[in-house]
């Protein structure tokens, strides 16, 4: 499927209107094929309004288009959600990897191992690995 059609479908399936800004943001995610920080998106889409960009990213996060990736740097990073995510049910059960050399944050295919803590009710688990990514370790 052509990329633009794919993007339109994603937006439609989440009941989000197809607007230039939203298409541009999603197109950038597909083109780069990696997680992106707000700063990177802003640098790419220089002439778009900052407030609008925040609202787009919030809408995407609330509706299962993107997911936020926790990171102690404070810099928020976003990754594309799986097709199965929607407003009610995000599935962020995969691991993330942050490269200490190039700074890239990747979504990994591997699932986070199940953990149970006596007395606690675990609903979600985020595992962030740090080290050297495939390219930087080679």
Cα distances from 67 to residues 5, 79, 94, 121, 129, in angstroms, run: 21, 5, 11, 22, 17
Residue 37: CB minimum distance to its own copies, A: 12
103/135 Cα distance (integer angstroms): 12
Does the protein bind DNA through residue 16 (CB under 7 A)? Answer: yes
| Gap between the Cα atoms of 41 and 24, Å rounded | 10
User: Does the footprint of its own copies cover residue 56 (CB under 8 A)?
Assistant: no
Shortest Å distance, C-beta 85 to its own copies? 15
Closest separation in Å from C-beta 48 to its own copies: 21
3 vs 70, which CB is nearer to Mn ion? 70
- Tell me the C-alpha distance between 33 and 36, whole Å: 9
**Which residues, numbered 47-86, are part of the site for DNA (CB under 7 A)?**
48-52, 54-56, 58-59, 74-76
86 Cβ neighbours under 8 A, 6+ residues apart: 13, 14, 63, 64
In the complex with Zn ion, which residue's Cβ is closer, 8 or 34? 34
Under the rule (CB under 7 A), what is the footprint of DNA?
11-12, 16-22, 38-39, 48-52, 54-56, 58-59, 74-76
């Amino acid at each position: 499927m052509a990329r633009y059609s794919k993007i339109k479908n994603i937006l439609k399936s989440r009941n989000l209107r197809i607007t230039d800004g939203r298409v541009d943001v999603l197109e950038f995610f597909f083109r780069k094929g990696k997680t992106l920080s707000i700063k990177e998106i802003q640098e790419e889409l220089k002439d778009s309004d900052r407030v609008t960009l925040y609202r787009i990213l919030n809408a995407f996060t609330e509706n299962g288009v993107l997911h936020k990736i926790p990171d102690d740097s404070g810099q928020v990073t976003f990754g594309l959600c799986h097709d199965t995510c929607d407003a009610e049910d995000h599935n962020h059960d995969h691991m993330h990897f942050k490269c200490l050399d190039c700074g890239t944050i990747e979504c990994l295919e591997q699932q986070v191992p199940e953990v149970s803590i006596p007395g606690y009710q675990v609903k979600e688990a985020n595992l962030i690995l740090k080290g050297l990514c495939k390219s930087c370790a080679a």
